[in-house]
Amino acid sequence: MTAGGRIFQKRAMEQALVVGAGPVGLTLAAELARHGVRPRVIDRRAAPLPYCRAIGVTPRTLEVWEDMGVAREAVDAGLWLEGMRSVMVGQGSRDSFHDYDDLPYGELGLPQYETERLLEVHLARFGVTVERGVSLVGLGEERADGLEVHLERADGAAETLRAAYVVGCDGAHSTLRHALGIAFEGEAFPMLFMLGDLRIDWDLPRGMALRALRLVEDGPPDMFVAIPLPERNRYRVSTLAPPELEAKGQPGAGHGIQAERDGPTLAQLQAVANDLLPGRPTLGDLRWSSTFRISMRLAERYRRGRGFLAGDAAHIHPPTGGQGMNTGIQDAYNLAWKLALVLRGTAPATLLDSYEAERRPVGAEVVERTRAASVGYGREGGRAPHRLADSQILVAYRDSAWVRDAAPELDDSAPRPGERAPDAGGLRRHHLAFPLRLFELLRGTAHVLLLHRPDGLGETEAEAALSLAAAYGEDLRLVAVTGAGAAPPASSGLAVCEDAAGAFAAAYGAAPASFLVRPDGHLAWRAAGESLAGLADVLQGTLGGLGHALAQATQGR
């Protein structure tokens, strides 16, 4: 079929179309595939960008990658970010170190192009490849069975398809966001910044970042920030741009790398280093450079009908704290399991409403926190900013309508519904010669009903729990944690571990309790003792209708 010399093609219905193959789109596509839905992934670029944009990978994102199965490869390819040396010109320097010893992971440095490579290799293991040089150019009619989508290839060939759902992971200038008519209001910093990937000859310890600052009254500080890359003595540096690189404001979002403009020269970057860095270290081997701008914007909504937004398409903000890519990856991680359950016909479509309800407040908080940190940059008394919030471990959905707390009386040592389920080590399973971590037992695509029974799990309760799991098949698994020395029940089909080191009781409280852990590692429900009160409502909202076994298992509990 042709029109005006262009070739048009119609394809069959797609379950999920992912627009954009950066870290967010690749995460979403891989998670959809892992949860049993084969997505289609397009990206308008012919090849991934070579720029080292995002670098820092938060402890929470590494937990996400552990569940996905890519954490080991990322750690092998990256560099642990140990801390920061803050230099105040004329006042000396101070070293601060990241303290994540109580978490499974520290903060990793991994250039974005390497993140994208690892995620694309991971996606290919599911038999899904990225279609490059394919752009979303518009949307058509939305009907009960899907949304009409118009695509165009680099050679001008056009295609129309219908997709059950379309997710825009296509960045700050998102075509899907514009096509959905979703507002993207906010403000921008007036200054232009410059970036460079280069070598620095100095004695800064490996894994340490550096920021050198000179405070300026009523203005942003003069700055030189160097973030280490895995290759020894290589850094991604950022500074304010000199007047000769300044340009008029960009249209639209005005955010990110300004690839259409000439980047700074090595001499321009060296001039800033000479002005701000002690000892004037030599910069060299400039591999690439660019200018970039910063905006603070939040999408009015994360969904309209069958179209969703994730990552920079939904929120953009200053890079302070390395929150952007990580927040987007966790958008995708939150959405994928829900979208897969709905597409597989397991969950009610109303579950998809929880995506915006849970993730948009997170985006709003990140935009405001990074804006405030940027405005106050350098005015923290010489110390690097506090990093716990930036670890993203504290992100929670306590106010979500899709979580339930049937045990408000549990003490503060027990995590609450909506919060991240913490890890616990030292768990021992009968006839296994090695200890286990709770995260190993939670890993997978199912909800996990976690039964904490310090005095042991009785046969009657074990059988009821197994009946409950049987009602939901592969979508619900059982894990029981007992006190040290408690005899395991004779029933098979559920993992029973001893809390030999007391780590589980320290993380979840010493009292008997039950917890439902979602596929994204957040608690959906908890109850005290052997009670299963309220569990039926949560499972109804996420895994659909109640089976006979569920009614039996919850009766009287």
Task: Tell me if residue 355 falls in helix, strand or coil.
Answer: helix
Domain contains 261: yes
Looking at per-residue pLDDT, the higher value among 319 and 183 belongs to 183
How far is Cα 398 from Cα 506, in angstroms, rounded to an integer? 21
Positive or negative: CA dihedral 272, 208, 289, 371: negative
Residue 376: is its pLDDT beyond 90?
Answer: no
Task: Say yes or no: 59 and 153 in one domain.
Answer: yes
How far is Cα 354 from Cα 402, in angstroms, rounded to an integer? 7
With cut-offs at 50, 70 and 90, classify the pLDDT of residue 380. low
Task: Say yes or no: 256 and 372 in one domain.
Answer: no
Task: Say yes or no: 273 and 300 in one domain.
Answer: no
How many other C-beta atoms can be found within 10 angstroms of the C-beta atom of residue 155?
8
Exposed e or buried b per residue across 129-141, where buried means at least 16 C-beta atoms within 10 angstroms of its C-beta: ebebebbbeebee
Residues sharing a CB contact under 8 Å with residue 106, sequence separation 6 or more, in sequence order: 59, 80, 81, 98, 100
At residue 66, the pLDDT reads 98
Give kind and range of the element (H or E) at residue 470. helix 459-472
Domain contains 398: no
Give the pLDDT confidence of 216-227 residue by residue, as tens digits. 887 788 999 999
**Which range marks the domain in which residue 60 is found?**
2-78+106-183+296-391
Give 111: exposed, middle or buried? Use CB within 10 Å, 0-12, 13-18, 19+. Answer: buried
Least Cα distance to 538 among 343, 348, 357 occurs for: 348
With cut-offs at 50, 70 and 90, classify the pLDDT of residue 381. low
With cut-offs at 50, 70 and 90, classify the pLDDT of residue 255. low
Least Cα distance to 312 among 22, 95, 57 occurs for: 22
Residues sharing a CB contact under 8 Å with residue 249, sequence separation 6 or more, in sequence order: 188, 190, 293
Give the pLDDT confidence of 393-425 residue by residue, as tens digits. 999 999 999 999 999 888 888 999 999 999 999
Task: Say yes or no: 359 and 428 in one domain.
Answer: no
The whole-number average pLDDT for the span 335-356 is 96
Residues sharing a CB contact under 8 Å with residue 139, sequence separation 6 or more, in sequence order: 147, 148, 149, 150, 166, 176, 179, 180, 307
Residues sharing a CB contact under 8 Å with residue 519, sequence separation 6 or more, in sequence order: 35, 337, 444, 445, 446, 447
Give the single-character DSSP code of 454.
T
| 282 Ramachandran zone, left/alpha/beta (phi>0; psi -120 to 50) | beta
- Domain edge (last residue) among 295, 319, 346: 295
Task: Say yes or no: 422 and 496 in one domain.
Answer: yes
At residue 217, the pLDDT reads 84
Residue 386: is its pLDDT beyond 80?
Answer: no
How far is Cα 182 from Cα 226, in angstroms, rounded to an integer? 36
Looking at per-residue pLDDT, the higher value among 383 and 393 belongs to 393
Least Cα distance to 298 among 362, 392, 364 occurs for: 364
Task: Say yes or no: 367 and 434 in one domain.
Answer: no
Task: Say yes or no: 511 and 431 in one domain.
Answer: yes
Task: Say yes or no: 287 and 316 in one domain.
Answer: no
Give 184: exposed, middle or buried? Use CB within 10 Å, 0-12, 13-18, 19+. Answer: buried
Ranges 1-5, 299-303, 370-374, 472-476, most confident: 299-303
At residue 378, the pLDDT reads 66
Domain contains 445: yes
Least Cα distance to 398 among 418, 421, 422 occurs for: 418
- Domain edge (last residue) among 391, 419, 448: 391
Task: Tell me if residue 397 falls in helix, strand or coil.
Answer: coil
Q: If you average pLDDT over every residue of the chain, what do you get?
A: 89
Residue 551: is its pLDDT beyond 50?
Answer: no
CATH number at residue 437: 3.40.30.10
The whole-number average pLDDT for the span 176-187 is 95
One-letter identity of residue 85: R
Task: Tell me if residue 291 falls in helix, strand or coil.
Answer: strand
At residue 109, the pLDDT reads 96
Specify which residues 257 forms β-bridges with: 292
* Pairing verdict, β 56-57 and 79-80: unpaired
Residues sharing a CB contact under 8 Å with residue 237, sequence separation 6 or more, in sequence order: 195, 196, 198, 200, 224, 225, 226, 227, 269, 283
Give kind and range of the element (H or E) at residue 328. helix 324-343
At residue 430, the pLDDT reads 87
Least Cα distance to 482 among 411, 427, 539, 543 occurs for: 427
CATH number at residue 274: 3.30.70
Residues sharing a CB contact under 8 Å with residue 555, sequence separation 6 or more, in sequence order: none
How far is Cα 142 from Cα 138, in angstroms, rounded to an integer? 12
At residue 489, the pLDDT reads 78
At residue 550, the pLDDT reads 52
At residue 274, the pLDDT reads 96
At residue 547, the pLDDT reads 42
62: Cα separation from own chain's centroid: 9
| 91 Ramachandran zone, left/alpha/beta (phi>0; psi -120 to 50) | alpha
Question: How many domains are contained in the chain?
Answer: 3
Domain contains 172: yes
Contact (Cβ atoms closer than 8 angstroms) between residue 531 and residue 453? no
Task: Say yes or no: 456 and 523 in one domain.
Answer: yes
Structure-block tokens of residue 420: 């991240």
Domain contains 97: no
- Domain edge (last residue) among 265, 295, 325: 295
Structure-block tokens of residue 106: 């520290």
| ∠ CA 172-303-334, rounded to 5° | 85
Task: Say yes or no: 260 and 318 in one domain.
Answer: no
Residue 73: is its pLDDT beyond 90?
Answer: yes
Give 417: exposed, middle or buried? Use CB within 10 Å, 0-12, 13-18, 19+. Answer: buried
**Site of tokens 């060296």:** 270
Structure-block tokens of residue 542: 């996420």
Least Cα distance to 197 among 270, 321, 290 occurs for: 290
Domain contains 85: no
CATH number at residue 127: 3.50.50.60
Domain contains 95: no
The whole-number average pLDDT for the span 252-257 is 53
Task: Say yes or no: 210 and 238 in one domain.
Answer: yes
20: Cα separation from own chain's centroid: 16
Task: Say yes or no: 308 and 445 in one domain.
Answer: no
How far is Cα 268 from Cα 360, in angstroms, rounded to an integer? 39
Domain contains 87: no
